Structure 1
Amino acid sequence: MTTTLERTMLVLTDGSANSNKFYEVTAHTDGRVIARWGRVGQSGNITDLTGKKSFDRAVHDKTRKGYRPVALADGASGAAQASADVLRTVGRDKLAGGNSAIAAMVDRLVAVNAHTISSASGGKITVTSTGVQTALGPVSSSSISQARNLLDRMHVMTSGTDRVRLVNDYLMLIPQTVPSRGAWADHFVTGDAQVRQQRDLLDQLEAAVAFTAAPDSGDDDFFRYTLVPATAAELKTLRARYVGTKNAKHRGVSSATMSGAYRLIDNRRSDEIEQTIASVGNVRSMWHGSRAGNVLSILSSGLVVPPATAKHVTARMFGDGVYLSEQSSKSLQYSRGGVWSAGTDPEFFMFAADVAMGWEYRPNMHGQSHAAYDRARSGSLVDNHHEGRRFDSINVKGGTCGVLNHEAIIWRPDQVKLTFLCQFGG
């Protein structure tokens, strides 16, 4: 029986030359060497070579032309697939706390997460029970970390060969559909909204990698949160709070009903968050909306605020941060989609949270500008009317500053205690 002796995948991604190509060469034990090449994501062309020398020569020639090797994952055998399915079940049960109804919901979140990743990458990245795979090989936590660094560096550059090089390196790690026309690299992730989309994609990938990894059965904090069904009294209170803070003008979601809720147990930072909230003070009950494709990421790792950079890196009105609102329907619009993002989700989720606002920067009183928001976040802007006190948050009153509804922005995730995950639709 002929088996694979050696296999190498080489890739050339060069935005300046409109190249996004792969070259795969495989040596078999019977002496046959098969080369496959084409544009990334396509099946490509195939030709037969002969002997180990032809294998080595093909790799050498392509490497000289700028191709680079990428990691490859072997196809899963039946036993490996079964093992991966068991590990995936372990991961799901850690989130669900052994509750079958919650486990079914987590499975749906995993499916939505996988679909979102596939759509965002143009089908170049897929999620299976054995891991996260791309046309160029597997995605790992390390490659996601490298991609985050490249994305931050890429966004502060507007053009030039250095930026094209960063784009090339980024797409080697996170393959995506790119135009077949030339000069596409000059326009790849150039706007703030596009950066947010890429950050969301990386968050979703990170959650998928964590979920398909192999957690030790005794590792209780492999996922940040465990879900526990809300009691009848808790669900009644949440529903009343949701209805009491709705805005009837939010027609897309104002008729939505809360079908369920799950209390969140923080397995990692419960003590730190309690200490931060007690220290910062001015605690309020709020809502945080997020698309279903991002919920798994939050349950896996918690809320994340991108690091401040030299360039303003978000399309949001009041800068980077965790956005929350005292109005339930305001946050639920983020969750359902269709208003600030493309498409709507049939089943959507919203987090209830206790938020330590501390000393608030109020744009209608202190001034409106991205520079001011960034300075307030960094601490270089203080409240001179109150002994130079540093700001802990931004609080935007509805009907001011160009917004119709309340907005709150937190820069430190530990100021937010996520208490419940509320379910709608489905």
Structure 2
Amino acid sequence: MLVKADIGDNNNKFYRISLHDDFSCQVVNGRIGGNGQNQPLKRFSSEHEASRFMDSKIREKLKGGYQTFQGIAQTKSKAGMSRLALEMAASEQIRTQHKDVVSDLIKRLVNANVHSILKNTDLAYDEDTGLFQTPLGIVTLESIKDARDLLNKLSVHIEAKDFDSDEVKALLASYLMLIPQKVGRKLSVAGVLPDGEAIQKQNGILDDLEASIGQVEELRKKKAQGGDDAEAKIEVEKIFNCEINVVEDKAVIRKITDFFESTRQKMHASYGLAIKRVYEVNIDAMTKAFEEEGRPLGNIKFLWHGTRPGNVLSILKSGFVIPPASSPWVCGRLFGNGVYYSDQSTKSLNYATGWWAGAREKEVFMFLADVAMGKEHIPRGPNEKLPAPGTDSTYAIGGKSGVLNNEYIVYKTSAGCIKYLVEFE
């Protein structure tokens, strides 16, 4: 499989040539995102002649600017675990006293993840394998890593308003080979990535992809390790070690509702949403780490954390993750590389609705967590080197620290412990 993307020449196409058993060669080519055109068969009297023809065409295309596709070619191999298998694993492994309600929640979270990815890209989802595919092949975790590296480099050009240099065009062309976009017939850097919000939207797509594929890959590995006893192996080595129950205590619901309503602001797009249901959450590893390392810091706050629905299941599995500081998806973290919370409800809710990434989610959730702030540092603005020496956290005050809304940042995942998952409508 060969590919060619050239922003200047409006090229975004593929070329595939295959050799059949009857010594005929079939060429399929076209624009990425489409099925391509089947060219007339070329027939030869021997495999040697057919191979020579195929090699000559490949050399011709490579000289013309095509490159070999580095992903995994399209396949129907049962290498993954289907969406249904993931739902079943989560439903069986997550402890609950409200089986039907929580099973429905899990199904909606998995479906929301897949829907969020498909509506923003030209990716296809294979129900049999549980994997996402570009028009050229399977999206892998390695492909996502490469895409993040490219997006990090692209963000520098977009911030500088560089839409026309050869370098930025080449970077975008490479990115589109990994994560195809619905860009229409005319390709341009400004059309695909006009501003920082567009970069954040791409980050959101990559986050959703990584969360979904990571869950499927972990299940696949456990199944492979289990051999004939795969199902039992998955039961023993759980990937979901948590408990979720529906909150029925009216006093608790009232407390959370009051906390939400007391700090929501009309300036936020999510202002009109209301609480639909509250779930009590206990993630085993997160609770243990908080009790051993977080709680002793003291100064514990009760705070919101907004996230898109495609990330909720991943957080229930692994808790919060702080990416390395060099990772491109930490763009926009003004106060260092940590976990961000807020006491202002609709500020966090905007993240959950996808508003900051230019999207609008149908399923909307937020977490409520105990956060051990310990010794706080109040910054004057976002340009300080953080975390500040001798402190455990940063408290960016709205209207004082260069931001409109309060932000609470901790730099160790053990400083936060999720207590509730709140669903909105």
Superposition TM-score tier, normalisation by shorter sequence: 0.7 to 0.9
Query: In 1, Cα distance between the equivalents of 2:13 and 2:93?
Result: 39
Question: Does 2:354 align with 1:357?
Answer: no
Query: In 1, Cα distance between the equivalents of 2:139 and 2:12?
Result: 18
Residue number in structure 1 paired with 2:252: 237
Residue number in structure 2 paired with 1:212: 216
Question: Does 2:192 align with 1:200?
Answer: no
Q: Are the equivalent residues in 2 in contact too, given 1:290–1:335 (CA < 8 A)?
A: yes
Range 354-363 or range 315-324, more displaced: 315-324
Residue number in structure 2 paired with 1:168: 173
User: Which residue among 12, 16, 23 is the counterpart of 1:20?
Assistant: 12
* Change in 2 beyond 3 A, CA 1:249/1:153: closer
Q: Are the equivalent residues in 1 in contact too, given 2:336–2:386 (CA < 8 A)?
A: no
Query: In 2, Cα distance between the equivalents of 1:298 and 1:172?
Result: 29
Q: How does 1:247-258 map onto structure 2 within 5 Å?
A: 247=262, 250=265, 252-253=270-271, 256-258=274-276
Q: Are the equivalent residues in 1 in contact too, given 2:83–2:127 (CA < 8 A)?
A: no
Q: CA deviation at 1:204?
A: 0.6
User: Which residue among 260, 284, 295 is the counterpart of 1:278?
Assistant: 295
User: Any idea what the Cα deviations from partners look like across 1:269-305, whole Å, max 9, x if unmatched?
Assistant: 5544443313543221111112323323433443344
Q: CA deviation at 1:245?
A: 4.4
TM-score by length of 2: 0.78
Q: Are the equivalent residues in 2 in contact too, given 1:357–1:410 (CA < 8 A)?
A: yes
User: Any idea what the Cα deviations from partners look like across 1:27-63, whole Å, max 9, x if unmatched?
Assistant: 3334443211111001222212224334343333323
Query: In 1, Cα distance between the equivalents of 2:186 and 2:26?
Result: 30
* Change in 2 beyond 3 A, CA 1:167/1:266: farther
Q: Are the equivalent residues in 2 in contact too, given 1:91–1:211 (CA < 8 A)?
A: no
Query: In 1, Cα distance between the equivalents of 2:383 and 2:298?
Result: 26
* Change in 2 beyond 3 A, CA 1:291/1:41: same
Q: CA deviation at 1:237?
A: 1.7
What percent identity do the matched residue pairs reach?
A: 29
Q: CA deviation at 1:127?
A: 5.7
Size of the alignment, in residue pairs? 393
- Counterpart amino acid of residue 305 in structure 2: H
Q: Are the equivalent residues in 2 in contact too, given 1:223–1:299 (CA < 8 A)?
A: no
User: What is the DSSP-based 3-state SS (H/G/I as helix, E as strand, rest coil) of the residue aligned with 1:34?
Assistant: strand
Query: In 2, Cα distance between the equivalents of 1:50 and 1:421?
Result: 62
User: What is the DSSP-based 3-state SS (H/G/I as helix, E as strand, rest coil) of the residue aligned with 1:143?
Assistant: helix
User: What is the DSSP-based 3-state SS (H/G/I as helix, E as strand, rest coil) of the residue aligned with 1:232?
Assistant: coil
Query: In 1, Cα distance between the equivalents of 2:93 and 2:199?
Result: 29
User: What is the DSSP-based 3-state SS (H/G/I as helix, E as strand, rest coil) of the residue aligned with 2:180?
Assistant: coil
Q: CA deviation at 1:115?
A: 1.6
Q: Are the equivalent residues in 1 in contact too, given 2:398–2:404 (CA < 8 A)?
A: yes
- Return 5+ residue gaps in structure 2 as ranges: 45-49, 224-230
Q: CA deviation at 1:420?
A: 2.2
User: Which residue among 371, 377, 393 is the counterpart of 2:383?
Assistant: 371
Q: CA deviation at 1:134?
A: 1.0
Residue number in structure 1 paired with 2:182: 177
- Return 5+ residue gaps in structure 1 as ranges: 1-8, 383-388
Q: CA deviation at 1:135?
A: 0.7
Question: Does 2:138 align with 1:128?
Answer: no
TM-score by length of 1: 0.78
Range 308-317 or range 33-42, more displaced: 308-317
